[in-house]
Chain A
Amino acid sequence: MNKETSLREVEKKTYMSYHQDGLIDIFVGVYVLLFGVGISLITLTDFSTWFIIPAIFPAIMIPLWISAKKRITMPRIGYVKLGSRGANKLLAIFIGLMVAGLGIFMVVTFASRSQGWALTLRNLIVSNSMIIIGISAAVISSLFAYTMGLKRLYAYGLLTLVLVLPGHFIAIPFGYSLLIIGLVIFVNGLVLLMRFIRRPPLPQGDEANVEKSL
């Protein structure tokens, strides 16, 4: 086995251990659900300020996620601080996704009032939005899946593609597609979390004894 491959495999195994608790699925699922609720409500009520819900969610979500990791994950798999390289890569992808999603959402919501290039861009995005979103989600999920070794992300990408892409050809409300995708990711996260929680926390005695010897 190649040395580089081996190092990558160890890195992937670390990510897989770190994310086996399903917490990331739960939070991403809720985030997608909130987008679905927001878009559905805009469609139904024309109340565009609903975009605030998914926009403020990361501010609430990140401290909750850190706390859940400390209370649920670390007692079961041990404590690990991902390397600055890995952490930066994850953070960059995460922020990129949030910004891209919010940016597209705001352009689509507000650019209809503008003139010139903003309107043209809005029209281009709106007329091909299902293709853009479906393919982007599939590509981004696959990139995450490949980088982190989390194979379930391939399934999420495929699910998004299957549920969103047909919306370009037939009238399927985008908000409803997001609700289904968010719900599937959220439920899968919950199942993974339930399985993970069944594992008892690792005994602290070994750690204490060995730490004394180190």
Chain B
Amino acid sequence: MTQLYVVESADFLFLQHQLQMTPGNLSSHLSKLEEAGYVEIVKEFIERKPHTALKLTKKGRTAFNEYRKNIKRVLETPAD
């Protein structure tokens, strides 16, 4: 999600290359994120070839921002 957060969209190959994950593992993660409505799969044509791009939905961005805020709060809370 962090990788998709910093770009507008990316394809499966780019994510696999950046995250160093196996296709099956990445696919499983993306399917779960898609089911949750966090990731949108955009079918498009690039130079007349079909292409699948993945992008974070508005809901996904909001959820990620919330997650960041929560983590920041936890890290800033002094330990007992």
Contact = CB atoms under 8 A, between A and B. Distances in A.
Interface of A: 2-4, 6-7, 10-11, 13-14, 17, 70, 77-84, 86-87, 202, 206-207, 209-211, 213-214
22 contacts: A7-B2, A7-B5, A7-B6, A7-B68, A14-B3, A14-B6, A17-B17, A78-B10, A78-B16, A80-B9, A80-B11, A82-B8, A83-B8, A87-B8, A206-B12, A206-B16, A207-B11, A210-B23, A210-B24, A210-B26, A214-B30, A214-B34
Interface of B: 2-3, 5-18, 23-24, 26-27, 30-31, 34, 41, 46-47, 51-53, 68, 71-72, 75
Contacts, number: 90
A10 B17 contact: no
Contacts of B53: 79, 81
A78 B17 contact: yes
Contacts of A4: 72
- The 9 A-B residue pairs with the shortest CB-CB distance in the complex, in nearest-first order: A78-B14, A78-B13, A79-B11, A81-B8, A80-B10, A11-B6, A211-B52, A206-B23, A210-B27
Contacts of A84: 8
A210 B16 CA distance: 11
Nearest to B9: A81
Interface SS of chain B: helix, strand, loop or mixed? helix
A87 B7 CA distance: 9
A78 B21 CA distance: 14
A211 B16 CA distance: 12
B68 A3 contact: yes
